[in-house]
Amino acid sequence: MHRRAGFGIYPQQLAALTSIEDALDQLLNPKESFILKSAVSLPDNWRSLSSRQRQVLAKQAREVSVTLGGKWIEEMSTTDDVLSEKMTLFWHGHFACVITNRPDFGVSLNNTMRKHALGNFRRLTKAVARESAMLNYLNNTQNKKGSPNENFARELMELFTIGRDNYTENDIKEAARAFTGWGHYPTGEFVLRGSQHDFGSKTFFGKTANFNGDDIIDILCDDNRTADFIAGKLFKFFVADEPNSQQIKALSSVLFANDYEIRPTLKYLFSADWFYNYAGSKIKSPVELIVGLNRAYNVNYHGSRSLIFLQRSLSQHLFRPPNVAGWPGGKKWIDSSTMAFRMRVPAIVLNKGIIAWNVKDEPDEMVAMKTEYRDKVKKRVKDRINIEVNWASVTKRWGSISPEQYVKLHLPEERSAMANKMIAQSRTDLASLASTVLSLPEYQLC
């Protein structure tokens, strides 16, 4: 469960759990979560600054926006509130928004998603619709009475709530009118500009009234097709890359019956017998891969460059989704060009790029030759990727775990014959096991 509901688990954490119900209670009723912070925000008098001052602030903002994803990964790697962060990651892809020159706007949106991560989807959607990052990204700051911009209204239906082919072009036009005048102050706070808002009657989904943006979201959520759409995305995120219509419908029914409360919906999901039949059916996202390694092995990144490199190389740079649809996920994570690199990521993070299969009873001469070669490679890699792992503290954290227990915590039950052979022939110290097990294709699954 922790491989999919969280980012993995190590023996000390596992030993403290008494049952699945105990694990669920800890996941669903977490301690207070952290708040992501931005190092740069533009002052109220931004527009009155000199051209040079604005250029300096804009450069700082762009630099911070690039490193923001790494900062969040570092927080995900240490927090006890793992399910809230996993759900914040889910909403980050669902309400996808590119952040460039206003990292403070991106941080505000991220913290809003975290605040509602295990709360209510209806309230979350209304809150997101008021966020300066989203208002800018989908052009709602340009949405005015008499000249409506339909971009946000379209994506609200197609990508955020009810899904494609469940609305008409007229529904988009009328919804756009309901969001006219929704904007923000230069500092990011939401404002409804009455002179730009259309207070006229609107017809949406067969209903006619003086609807505003909140009314549109309520009408969409009152339609169980929105629950179906969200349940399908939750299934893909937590369960498997291939959908199961019957199980998605059951999940949707729970979500709709609970008026879009996420906590009871996830409790149903993680308690379902069929959830555990899907072990090894989901390809880890790059962020899940990186955070899982960080949490288990106390990884220390010196500076932001290494985390930026990993995110970009794996095609999941947080706060920089490819488009408003977010990252496609599933098999899209892996192709002929990315698979080899993904399998090297554990070695890059834990062992300076060396994938070392440490075979039992290997001759001393061979061990010496390998060691000399690896030391040279590690030195070259360190010049580009400055990552350290304190294996003494890692070994203490993992304790005297048996090879069988270690493999069970990291890999699905079904493995290839080659994988089983490599595991059986590997040395049993923790570093050797990690070098072997984490480089296997099966480690890419959860």
pTM of the prediction? 0.93
**Which residue from 233, 403, 433 is spatially nearest to 325, judged by alpha carbons?**
233
**Residue whose C-alpha is closest to residue 158's, from 229, 255, 253:** 229
Least-confidence region, from 224-233, 285-294, 414-423 = 414-423
The whole-number pLDDT of residue 219 equals: 98
For residue 117, what are its two tokens?
């991560």
H, E, C per residue of the chain: CHHHHCCCCCHHHHHCCCCHHHHHHHHHCCCCCCCCCCCCCCCCCHHHCCHHHHHHHHHHHHHHHHHHHHHHHHHHCCCCCHHHHHHHHHHHHHCCCCCCCCHHHHHHHHHHHHHCCCCEHHHHHHHHCCCHHHHHHCCHHHCECCECCCHHHHHHHHHHCCCCCCCCHHHHHHHHHHCCCEEECCCCCEEECHHHCCCCCEEECCEEECCCHHHHHHHHHCCHHHHHHHHHHHHHHHCCCCCCHHHHHHHHHHHHHCCCEHHHHHHHHHHCHHHHHHCCCCECCHHHHHHHHHHHHCEEECCCHHHHHHHHHCCCCCCCCCCCCCCCCHHHHCCCCCHHHHHHHHHHHHHCCCCCCCECCCCHHHHHHHHHHHHHHHHHHHCCCCEEECHHHHHHHHCCCCHHHHHHHHCCCCCCHHHHHHHHHECCCHHHHHHHHCCCHHHHEC
Q: How many CA atoms lie within 13 A of 187 on its CB side?
A: 4
Q: Which residues contact 246 (CB under 8 A, 6 or more apart)?
A: none
The pLDDT-based confidence of 372 (bands split at 50, 70, 90) is low
pLDDT at residue 136 in the model: 96
pLDDT higher for 250 or 360? 250
CB 8 within 8 A of CB 295: yes
Task: Return the structure tokens found at 19.
Answer: 């049952």
Give bridge partners of residue 183 from the DSSP assignment. Answer: 191
Instruction: Answer yes or no: is pLDDT of 377 > 90.
Output: no
221 in Cβ contact with 228 (< 8 Å): no
> Which stretch of 41-45, 79-83, 245-249, 323-327 has the lowest confidence by average pLDDT?
41-45
For 54-68, what is the mean pLDDT? 84
For residues 281 and 241, the answer to whether their CB atoms sit within 8 Å is yes
Q: 354 with 378: CB under 8 angstroms?
A: yes
CA-to-CA distance for 10 and 287, rounded, in angstroms? 18
Mean pLDDT of the residues in the chain: 90
Of the listed ranges 128-142, 208-222, 264-278, 425-439, the one predicted with least confidence = 425-439
Least confident stretch, 56-65, 201-210, 221-230, 367-376: 367-376
List the one residue out of 265, 325, 222 whose CA is nearest residue 117: 265
What is the phi-psi region of residue 163: left when phi exceeds 0, alpha when psi lies from -120 to 50, beta otherwise? left
Query: Which distant-in-sequence residues (6+ apart) come within 8 Å of 180 by Cβ?
Result: 143, 144, 145, 148, 196, 197, 198
Find the mean pLDDT for residues 247-263.
Answer: 98
CB 318 within 8 A of CB 85: no
What's the full length of the chain, in residues?
446
Q: Which two tokens stand for residue 177?
A: 């009118």
Which residues, in sequence order, are bridge partners of residue 147? Answer: 144
Q: Is residue 254 pLDDT above 80, yes or no?
A: yes
Under 8 Å CB-to-CB from 273, ≥6 apart: which residues? none
**pLDDT, tens only, 170-214:** 999 999 999 999 999 988 999 999 999 999 999 999 999 999 999
Neighbours of 410 (CB within 10 A): 20
Q: What is the spatial distance between Cα 370 and Cα 381, in angstroms, rounded to a whole number?
A: 16
Tokens of 149: 């911009």
How many CB atoms sit inside 10 A of residue 297's CB? 23
Which band of pLDDT confidence, cut at 50, 70 and 90, is reported for residue 387?
confident
pLDDT of residue 147: 96
| pLDDT score, position 112 | 97
Span 415-419, mean pLDDT?
Answer: 92
Residues above pLDDT 90, as percent of the chain? 63
